């Protein structure tokens, strides 16, 4: 089964770290990705760039005018920094992998519909 792990963090907290600590945290995240990619559990994953745009299309199946705005899709303190798609035997294994995320913040675990 495939699950999408979405990693949320408070960007200001990361930026408030001393540069050496921030670099060490990024290195820990790199090792985490390498470990799980090397074992074949991560089948895709990327760090996301800044400069999010949201396109709001309105009600389902209606002809509302699209609106484009800066920022994430909803008001939140945390923002999505990266994601990974894991191929595991079940949800428990996906959650176990998420619990080992070294970046702090929040990890959303969601099944991928095939």
Q: Find, among 85, 14, 19, 23, the residue nearest to 50 by Cα.
A: 14
Q: Is the dihedral of CA 59, 65, 67, 68 positive or negative?
A: positive
Q: Dump pLDDT digits (tens) for 14-57.
A: 889 999 999 999 999 999 999 999 999 999 998 888 777 778 78
Q: Dump pLDDT digits (tens) for 52-100.
A: 777 878 777 777 788 787 665 555 567 888 999 999 999 999 999 999 9
**pLDDT for the residue 11:** 83
Q: Which domains does the chain have, with CATH numbers?
A: 2-111 (3.30.70.1060)
């Amino acid at each position: 089964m495939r699950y999408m792990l979405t990693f949320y963090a408070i960007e200001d907290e990361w930026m408030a770290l001393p540069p050496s600590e921030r670099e060490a945290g990024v290195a820990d995240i790199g090792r985490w990705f390498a470990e799980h990619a090397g074992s074949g559990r991560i089948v895709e994953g990327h760090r996301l760039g800044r400069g999010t745009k949201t396109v709001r299309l309105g009600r389902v199946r209606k002809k509302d005018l699209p609106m484009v705005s800066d920022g994430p899709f909803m008001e939140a303190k945390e923002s999505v920094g990266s994601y990974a798609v894991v191929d595991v035997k079940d949800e428990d294994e996906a959650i176990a992998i998420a619990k080992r995320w070294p970046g702090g913040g929040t990890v959303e675990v969601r099944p991928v519909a095939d």
